[in-house]
Amino acid sequence: MMTDIKQSTLLGLALHELTSLVEESGQPQYRAQQLFEAIYRQRVESAEQISTLSQEFRLTLVQKGFSVGLPTVDGKFVSVDGTVRYLMAFADGQSVETVWMPEGDAGEAGDGSEAGNELEKQTSRNWDRATICVSSQVGCAVDCKFCLTGLLGVKRNLTAGEIVGQIVAVLNDQHVAPPRDRVNLVFMGMGEPFLNYDSFIKAVRLLVEGVGIPESRMTVSTAGIVPRIYDLGAEHVRPKLAISLNAPNDELRTRLMPINRKWSLEKLTAAARDFPLRNRERLTFEYVLLDEVNDSEENARELVELIRGVRAKVNLIALNPGPGIPFQTPAQDRVARFQDILIDSGVPTFGRRPRGRDIYAACGQLKRTLEMTA
Ligand code: SAH
Ligand code: SF4
């Protein structure tokens, strides 16, 4: 029934909703599949471009006020390392950021000495895989003390169509076609995906079934919204899970992430232990290292104890600094020492290389910065 479709954008509609739409319009049912293919697989930009549909039905769609609903690219900033930060604007004028990170031999420009060639390099195929970092909300309500997005507060949730739309717009801009091209997706942009759970999970399904990005190439990161961790575990189609831990005890974690008052480390690690991992899957714990705050050898040992028994790896992220963030980035040898303690205790631990810091595209730096650099 049309009545339960509140939006007039095609992006974000599931196959059953498209089926209602074509039936309402007196069209044969197979039109729904054609629409689905055109929106998500061919990634058309307007209803007029859907050449499989009859002229008459295309016109009906336009008359009913339906558009595809892609966000507009309001800004595009290219880093010396190949990372591209997009400013995506929606119909109501709100905007978020979406980050494209090519990886592989030619995708990385090294020390930036080849910066002048970056735009040219972006247009030819110079990567063997890429990761898109997608936003789930305009701003964020969680208020982590080290995060620029947190400083914004939350403006609103994104719809499923707006989440999928960011990815479709980037794929179109980069001329990329999954599943042929290897694209990973991380729900680690602006916002807390688990405070917009229904739209997030609907977007995941559309991305898997429509756009063709396998769920095994997707990761969602949460600050620790415990009930939603259980919900995710019960989904048939779901991304891998990353939990932003950032501190090894409640006292410190509550100071850095006030949400820890509501869901303590005990509840959070219980949810992590209960999370039904698939074959060979590992959970990820993210840990932002703040100089002299949570990066001591003692903290590393506490962390090992905290996560003992969870099949997990740890991603260490040295703080990406920003204006108004009252913490410092630890020196490289402190990061290395922390990492060594975890590895020596048998915890697989990786240091996440910051991407696109120069264009404010790195973790925790997303706040709709309009300038190229700070
Ligand atoms: N809201 C979700 C996902 C977006 S944040 C979450 O918090 O998990 C993605 C990651 O960036 C999180 O692991 C977060 O801890 C990290 N992060 C936030 N601010 C950062 C900063 N200033 N430097 C480095 N990483 C940061
Ligand atoms: Fe929100 Fe994640 Fe930033 Fe915390 S780290 S304020 S949850 S975006």
The Å distance, Cα 289 to ligand 2 centre, comes to 15
Q: Residue 239's closest CA among 196, 190, 203, 189?
A: 203
Which pTM was predicted? 0.92
Q: 317 CB under 6 A from ligand 1? A: yes
Query: Could you report how far apart the first and last alpha carbons of the chain are, in Å?
Result: 49
Asked if 159 contacts 166 with a C-beta cutoff of 8 angstroms, the reply is no
Q: 140 CB under 6 A from ligand 2? A: yes
* Residue 363 annotated as catalytic: yes
Name the residue with the closest Cα to ligand 1, atom 5.
188
Q: 229 CB under 6 A from ligand 1? A: no
Rounded CA separation 232/241 (Å): 8
Q: Give the ligand 1 atom nearest the CA of 365.
A: 22
**Beta-ladder partners of 137:** 157
Which residue is listed with tokens 């629409």? Answer: 35
Best residue for ligand 1 mutational test, from 131, 133, 146, 147 (most atoms within 8 Å of Cβ): 147
The stretches in the chain having pLDDT less than 70 are 1-7, 105-125, 368-374
Asked if 204 contacts 218 with a C-beta cutoff of 8 angstroms, the reply is yes
Name the residue with the closest Cα to ligand 1, atom 13.
244
Q: 146 CB under 6 A from ligand 1? A: yes
For residue 365, the ligand closest to its alpha carbon is: 1
The Å distance, Cα 52 to ligand 2 centre, comes to 42
Name the residue with the closest Cα to ligand 2, atom 4.
144
Length of the chain: 374
Q: Which of 133, 140, 147, 363 is catalytic?
A: 363
Q: Which of 97, 162, 192, 215 is catalytic?
A: 97
* Domains of the chain with CATH codes: 15-63 (1.10.150), 72-359 (3.20.20.70)
The Å distance, Cα 143 to ligand 2 centre, comes to 6
Name the residue with the closest Cα to ligand 1, atom 8.
222
Q: 193 CB under 6 A from ligand 2? A: no
pLDDT of 372: 43
pLDDT of 362: 74
The Å distance, Cα 292 to ligand 1 centre, comes to 19
pLDDT of 367: 72
For residue 288, the ligand closest to its alpha carbon is: 1
